[in-house]
Amino acid sequence: MCSGRVDLAFVLRAFSKGNDGVLIGGCHINECHYITDGNYDALGMVLLCKKLMEHIGVNPERLRLESLSAGEGIRFAEVMNDFGKKLRELGPLGKGEGIDKNELKSKLEAVTKLIPYIKLVERERLRVPFKSEEEYNKFFTSDEVNRLFNELIVDKLAISQIMLLLRERPLSTGKISEILGLTPSEVSRHMNSSSRHGLVRYDESRKCFALA
């Protein structure tokens, strides 16, 4: 299967199932087996996924993309051994980052729910203009992409996390702020926006927000 068909959902599902790391092997850059440049699609997906992982507190080194050909058995073994060593150094997923198991599950679920939107953003606003590994790496670490990531994805992710919390029980602005590490003003901004869209309501008697 072409590495370009490895979906963001596959990676997040692997982490949600408790896997400590994900390794994707694909054709060497500019040597796509299917002549579709699918390995560039894989590279873009991995670089974006690493930004998402870093944002929710998961070490991005748990995700790795390697260029490997069918004739590189020795190198494949070396890559696997090296990745296995790295994962042992990082420790179990979540525990190595100091994230509670339930908190990690909630964060991964919040990102997963945004996948269709994230793909749309990637297609419309995060397309790399030139096909080279250097350009891809430079593009995804640029100030412009960081700005777009914060502007288009971070707020949506925060709202997704809040909706998951409210699915369990009504919460006050202060409690949401405490759980997610957001400022009360950020939570209020997200709640006002969600209220305008009919997603949440404010319970005056309990002084907290609940799903509409």
- Backbone dihedral region for residue 181 (phi beyond 0: left; psi -120 to 50: alpha; all else: beta): left
In a domain, 197, yes or no: no
Range of the domain at 135: 3-168
pLDDT at 143: 96
| Residues 145-179: tens digit of each pLDDT | 999 999 999 999 999 999 999 999 999 999 999 99
Phi/psi of residue 137, nearest 5 degrees: -65, -40
**Tally of domains within the chain:** 1
In a domain, 210, yes or no: no
Run of H or E including 63: strand 63-67
Residue 67 neighbours by CB under 8 Å, 6+ apart: 25, 26, 27, 28, 29, 39
In a domain, 38, yes or no: yes
pLDDT at 37: 82
pLDDT at 104: 95
In a domain, 23, yes or no: yes
| Residues 5-14: tens digit of each pLDDT | 999 999 999 9
pLDDT at 170: 95
In a domain, 179, yes or no: no
Low-confidence ranges of the chain (pLDDT < 70): none
b/e string for 45-67 if b means 16 or more Cβ within 10 A?
bbbbbbbbbebbebbeebbbbbb
pLDDT at 29: 87
Q: How far is CA 196 from the centre of its chain?
A: 27
* Adjacent-strand bridge partners of 67: 26
In a domain, 206, yes or no: no
| Residues 98-115: tens digit of each pLDDT | 999 999 999 999 999 999
Phi/psi of residue 129, nearest 5 degrees: -70, -25
pLDDT at 155: 94
CB atoms within 10 A of CB 173: 20
Residue type for position 136: Y
In a domain, 208, yes or no: no
Query: Judging by beta carbons within 10 Å of its beta carbon (0-12, 13-18, 19+), is residue 161 exposed, middle or buried?
Result: buried
Q: Which residue has the tokens 């699915």?
A: 167
Residue 8 neighbours by CB under 8 Å, 6+ apart: 45, 48, 49, 115, 118, 119
Residue 33: CA count within 13 A, CB half-sphere = 12
In a domain, 82, yes or no: yes
